[in-house]
Amino acid sequence: MNNSPTGRAVLGRRRLLATGAGLLGLTALGGVPLLTACGTAGGPSGPPSGPPQPGGRLRSLIAGRSATSDVLDPHEAGSSAGGAVSKNVWDKLVAYNNDLTLRYRLARALEPNADGSVWRISLRPGVVFSDGTPLTSRDVLWSFERMLDPARASAGDLAMVDMARIKADGELDVLVAMKTPIADFGSVLAGWYCYVVKDGTTAFDQRTLPVGTGPFALAAWSPGDRTLLRRNDRHWDGPALLDEVEIIQIAETEARMNAFLSGEGDVVHEMSYLQARNLENDPAATVYVPPEGLMGCFQMRTDLAPFDDVRVRQAMRLAVDRQAMVDAVYYGYGEVGNDLYGKGAPYYNDTLPQRSYDPQRARELLRAAGKENLEVTLVTADGMPGMVESATLYAEQAKAAGITVRLESAPADTYFSQVSGKRALTHVGWWNYSLDYFYGQTGTSTSPSNSTAWRRPAWDAKFAQARAAMNPERRRELYFELQDELWREGGLILHSFAKRPDAARNTVGGMRAGVPGTDDWANYATTWIAAQG
């Protein structure tokens, strides 16, 4: 045993990992063997210093999905690998910087009317698709129509848009009417699925290989396996340096690292935190740490027993030692969470008291609810860094509150499509987006990804008011009230925010330390490979 800064005994890191492997039949992550330095241009001290060199193929190792669930369509692709492909082949109108401010891409301006009920999108002139076709307002209209198709995963992203009243205003402007006003349309357009595809495109498969306006074009796609991209010399923001990018899907965290160490990849995304910490000592690789962290979170279905009782939900939140979780699972890359999404985002409620580890109060709440000696099942998987480790530690911490957390293992490549939010207690993982986007996707009664089954008409109405408030101070006030209710009664046990390191061999230059969900993560437009001596 060792002690957390709060003075409570917690599992040591090595014991935690070994215990998790024993419970779930997974291999514990030990020390990471060093790469063999081979006289790279970057040498043993870091990435190559330049000048950037054109040419070469970058091999990127990233989490993906099974062959049966993988899709190429950027309006449906839901995995990390799918997101990386979409980002490098297509473009958004606007995208997020690491701090969730907006970066203009295909749009050169977004302008609302006085109350946010109509927005004008002005496109960047001179943009062409990789086949040479000019980008026009018709492509935006087609993309909106596809994204709003109820059959697609993207349908909820733009649910506030009134497609019947959207119209082109010339070749480069689009007037977007809203069903309900919105004060910050750009923060929604920067969301996960909001890519612009070519007018009339209907097929997204390995035979068709549709075109985009991004820095690379599709050359080959094998579902659940890999995607080959080639440089788009017509890219509006200048051609990329790399000739090709190969995005290789490996669902399990340890298997990805093994592939990287064995020389099968030049870049590895979504490492475990122990792997990243060990790799920092490797003279032939560089670890890239983004400035902001992602949610580490369990979710309770508020419509399923025993979590349909708010007292049980509150007890479950009090049964997690957040500082110990950060110390033992995230190896210095994390900070404590407070059961609310979006730390660091505009309008995040940072005035609420920090929820602490209080197993005695949790016992009292369970006793009042008639749920003493509660037994629950947490379904986990090696689907994201820290999932197995955090589940294992939570099971240990909850014992002090009289809660038995049984761990059940599920396949990593289908966890988020078939398990998360469908069982009573699971993990949930969202990357960094604005509160407008996140709560629009997860928080209202009709949200497409409402995996905690949080359905309160009064909350929905207040969220609509917050979205529509053109006055920033009023928006802040409403968002704080919304989060206060979620903090007291919601279904998220958001225990940590952990920065998600990536790594690259020191032959790779121009890497971006991007926060997942932003424009810089897995964006290879500026990446290059040094010649090896």
| Residue-level pLDDT at 344 | 85
Start and end residues for every CATH 3.10.105.10 domain found in the chain: 2-27+293-498
Within 10 Å of residue 363's Cβ, how many Cβ atoms? 20
Q: What is the pLDDT of residue 533?
A: 55
Please tell me whether the overall predicted TM-score, pTM, comes out greater than 0.85 for this model: no
More confident: 153 or 163: 163
Concatenating the DSSP letter of every residue in 460-492 gives: HHHHHHHHH--SHHHHHHHHHHHHHHHHHH-SE
Question: How many CB atoms sit inside 10 A of residue 402's CB?
Answer: 19
- Bridge partners of residue 300, in order along the sequence: 425
Give pLDDT, residue 32.
Answer: 54
pLDDT-derived band at 105 (thresholds 50, 70, 90) equals very high
> Residue 354, Cβ neighbours under 10 Å: how many?
11
For 7-16, the pLDDT digits (tens) are 333 333 333 3
Q: Residue 152: what pLDDT?
A: 86
In angstroms, the CA 533 to CA 523 distance is 27
Which amino acid appears at position 391 of this protein?
Answer: A
Select from 3.40.190.10, 3.40.50.300, 3.40.50.1100, 1.10.260.40 the CATH code of 54-88+204-290+501-529. Answer: 3.40.190.10
3-state secondary structure of 42: coil
| CA dist 32 → 42, 272, 278, 280 (Å) | 21, 11, 6, 10
Residue 212 or 36, more confident: 212
Helices 359-368 + 310-318 axis angle, to 10:
160
At 317 the pLDDT is 98
- What would the mean pLDDT of 381-392 be, rounded to a whole number? 91
Where does the chain hold its CATH 3.90.76.10 domain(s)? 90-196
Per-residue model confidence as pLDDT tens digits over 51-89: 999 999 999 999 988 888 899 999 999 889 999 999 999
**pLDDT for 413:** 81
Tokens 């419970």, residue located:
23
Q: What is the pLDDT of residues 302-326, one digit of tens each?
A: 999 999 999 999 999 999 999 999 9
The residues, ordered by sequence, that sit 6+ positions from 142 with a Cβ below 8 Å of its Cβ are 197, 198, 199, 200, 201
Segments of the chain assigned to CATH 3.40.190.10: 54-88+204-290+501-529
Segment 91-101 shows an average pLDDT of 93
Q: Residue by residue, what is the 3-state secondary structure of 407-452?
A: EEECCHHHHHHHCCCCCCEEEECCCCCCHHHHHHHHCCCCCCCCCC
Q: How many CB atoms lie within 10 A of CB 275?
A: 26
* CA torsion, ordered 334, 340, 344, 345, to nearest 10 deg: 140
Q: In this structure, which amino acid lies at residue 141?
A: L
Give percent above pLDDT 70 in the chain.
91
**CA-based torsion, 329, 330, 335, 339: positive or negative:** negative
Query: What mean pLDDT do residues 440-462 have?
Result: 95
Interval 440-450: pLDDT, tens: 989 999 998 99
Edge-to-edge strand ranges of the sheet holding 244-249 = 216-222, 226-231, 244-249, 57-62, 267-268, 502-505, 285-288
Look at residues 188, 250, 253, 273 and name the one whose alpha carbon lies nearest to residue 496.
273
The better pLDDT of the pair 275, 4 is held by 275
The CATH architecture to which 2-27+293-498 belongs is Roll (3.10)
Give the confidence band of 3 by pLDDT, cuts at 50, 70, 90: very low
Task: Give the list of residues 6+ apart from residue 370 with CB closer than 8 angstroms, or none.
Answer: none
Given a cut of 70, whether residue 40 has pLDDT beyond it is no
- Per CATH, the number for 90-196 is 3.90.76.10
- 3 state DSSP class of 155: helix
- CB of 313 within 8 A of CB of 494? no
Q: What CA–CA distances, in Å, run from 482 to 184, 244, 288, 338, 355?
A: 17, 46, 35, 15, 17
pLDDT for 45 equals 66
Predicted confidence (pLDDT) per residue in 109-157, tens digit? 999 999 999 999 999 999 999 999 999 999 999 999 999 998 888 887 8
Q: How do beta strands 167-168 and 173-177 pair?
A: antiparallel
Q: Is 133 exposed, middle or buried (0-12, 13-18, 19+ CB in 10 A)?
A: middle
- Indicate if the pLDDT at residue 492 is higher than 80: yes
Give pLDDT tens digits for 281-309.
999 999 999 998 999 999 999 999 999 99
pLDDT single digits (tens) 500-516: 999 999 999 999 999 99
Residue 4: what pLDDT? Answer: 26
User: What is the percent of the chain where pLDDT is above 90?
Assistant: 79
